[in-house]
């Protein structure tokens, strides 16, 4: 079979495990015989099906717990930081799935994936249940912090390198992912189609965790952002989106560890940003259309909030609403004494 015939057969069978899967880019070198077609290549697979699946039933809301100080920084900047997997509390991020995969991944590959995937975590809101006391204790500054209710709209047509995932845990039916990886290995062993490991595998691994984390009911916004290791700038044109981060940023966390992050803007609404020409095209696009519209809907003060002047805080929120051109609700935790 030719390369294209193999791809058609691969996609047809792979969609039995992952509906909506399709190829996104294909690169092959011709051999010495100019009349012969290539039979393999470097093939990447589109992950747009992740966003389509998550938003198929409408807008998504999730709760992000943080300290009051961090919440004020988010509101002041009009953006939120997404840290790469080296800064997350689960040391087995990405590694958990790939270690169980029938495809072999080296520690160097796993570290690369951890370095390139930046994550905003929250707890998925279901049945209007916005708060969880355990999560207040774990992530909300021991109940003294803030819970931010985020909402993401269904507008996903042009998103580039931004993906949404409802995390699956050991108890969930995630066998389709393992079955898909097994299918991929068996197909490629037989037909020698892929000369590479598609980047999709790493992205899928950000959405599977050990059952011990299931109390979090985690929802994730993931930015896949490979950077040039010398310049720290994004590697290609549309992905070099100044609305996310053109250059990797760093800070020291509370443990004194240097960590890396990118930023997503909040409340973009109908905002305009930067027009660019698409690669190999005269078509102009606005980079603002390539990021999700991430909106804050509500601020909840923790059960043990030490806020001294509530009226002063409300005045501050009024200023934030004017600057971000949005409406925010403010309330106290339902767990407050």
Listed by start position, the domains of the chain span 60-167+207-332
DSSP string, 122-184: EEE-BTTB---HHHHHHHTTTTTSEEEEEEE-S--TT--SEEEEEPEETTS--HHHHHHHHHH
Q: Which residues pair with 329 in a beta bridge?
A: 298
Q: Which residues pair with 224 in a beta bridge?
A: 117
Of 24, 61, 18, the C-alpha closest to 204 is 18
Q: 145 vs 16, 70, 203, 216, 315, CA distance in Å?
A: 44, 9, 31, 17, 19
Exposure letters 229-267 (e unless 16+ CB within 10 A, then b): eeeeebeeeebbbebbbeebeeeeeeeeeebbbbbbbbb
Residue 146 near residue 191, CB atoms below 8 Å: no
Tell me, what's the pLDDT at 238?
46
Residues with Cβ < 8 Å from 184, sequence gap 6 or more?
A: 14, 103, 194
Residue 215 near residue 230, CB atoms below 8 Å: no
Of 18, 229, 218, the C-alpha closest to 124 is 218
Q: 144 vs 136, 215, 300, 311, CA distance in Å?
A: 8, 20, 11, 18
Q: What is the DSSP letter of 288?
A: G
Residues with Cβ < 8 Å from 333, sequence gap 6 or more?
A: 131, 136, 143, 147, 300, 301, 302, 303, 305
Q: What is the residue whose two structure tokens read 């393992």?
A: 178
CA 113 – CA 64 distance, rounded (Å): 24
What's the N-to-C CA distance of the chain in angstroms?
A: 69
> How confident is the model over 134-146, as pLDDT tens digits?
999 999 999 999 9
Q: Which residues pair with 46 in a beta bridge?
A: 22
> How confident is the model over 24-45, as pLDDT tens digits?
888 876 555 555 678 889 999 9
Of 247, 280, 273, 282, the C-alpha closest to 262 is 247
Enter the tokens of residue 303. Answer: 């059960």
What is the chain's pLDDT, residue by residue, as a tens digit (337 residues)? 889 999 999 999 999 999 999 998 888 765 555 556 788 899 999 998 998 888 888 889 999 999 999 999 999 999 999 999 988 889 999 999 999 999 999 999 999 999 889 999 999 998 889 999 999 999 999 999 999 999 997 666 667 688 999 999 876 656 689 899 999 999 999 999 999 999 999 999 999 999 999 999 999 999 988 776 656 666 654 455 666 766 678 888 777 777 889 888 888 665 666 677 766 667 777 767 777 889 999 999 999 999 989 999 999 999 999 998 899 999 999 998 7
Half-sphere exposure of 278 (CA within 13 A, CB side): 9
Tell me, what's the pLDDT at 171?
60
Tell me, what's the pLDDT at 182?
95
pTM of the model: 0.89
Tell me, what's the pLDDT at 226?
77
Tell me, what's the pLDDT at 134?
96
> How confident is the model over 101-130, as pLDDT tens digits?
999 999 999 999 998 899 999 999 988 899
């Amino acid at each position: 079979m030719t390369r294209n015939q193999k791809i058609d057969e691969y996609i047809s069978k792979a969609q039995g495990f992952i509906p909506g899967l399709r190829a996104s880019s294909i690169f092959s070198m011709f051999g010495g015989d100019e009349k012969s077609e290539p039979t393999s290549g470097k093939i990447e697979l589109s992950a747009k099906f992740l966003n389509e699946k998550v938003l198929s039933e409408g807008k998504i809301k999730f709760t992000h717990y943080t300290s009051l100080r961090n919440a004020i920084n988010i509101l002041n900047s009009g953006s939120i930081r997404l840290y790469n997997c080296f800064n997350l509390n689960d040391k087995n991020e990405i590694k958990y799935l790939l270690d169980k995969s029938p495809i072999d991944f080296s520690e160097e590959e796993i570290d690369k994936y951890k370095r390139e995937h930046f994550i905003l975590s929250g707890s998925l809101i279901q049945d209007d249940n916005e708060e969880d006391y355990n999560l207040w204790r774990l992530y909300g500054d021991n109940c003294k912090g803030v819970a931010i209710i985020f909402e993401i709209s269904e507008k996903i047509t042009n998103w580039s390198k931004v993906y949404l995932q409802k995390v699956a845990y050991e108890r969930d039916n995630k066998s389709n992912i393992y079955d898909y990886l097994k299918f991929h290995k068996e197909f490629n062993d037989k037909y020698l189609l892929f000369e590479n490991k598609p980047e999709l595998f790493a992205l899928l691994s950000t959405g599977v965790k050990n059952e011990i984390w299931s109390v979090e009911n985690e929802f994730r916004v993931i930015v896949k952002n490979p950077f040039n290791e010398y310049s720290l700038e994004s590697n290609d044109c549309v992905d070099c989106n100044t609305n996310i981060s053109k250059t990797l940023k760093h800070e020291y966390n509370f443990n004194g560890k240097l960590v890396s992050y990118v930023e997503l803007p909040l409340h973009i609404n109908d905002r305009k940003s930067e027009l660019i020409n698409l690669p190999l095209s005269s078509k102009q696009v606005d980079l603002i259309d390539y990021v999700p519209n991430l909106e804050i809907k509500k601020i909840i003060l923790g059960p043990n909030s030490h806020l001294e002047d509530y009226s002063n805080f409300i005045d501050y929120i009024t200023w934030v609403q004017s600057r971000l051109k949005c409406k925010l609700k403010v309330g106290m935790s339902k767990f407050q004494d």
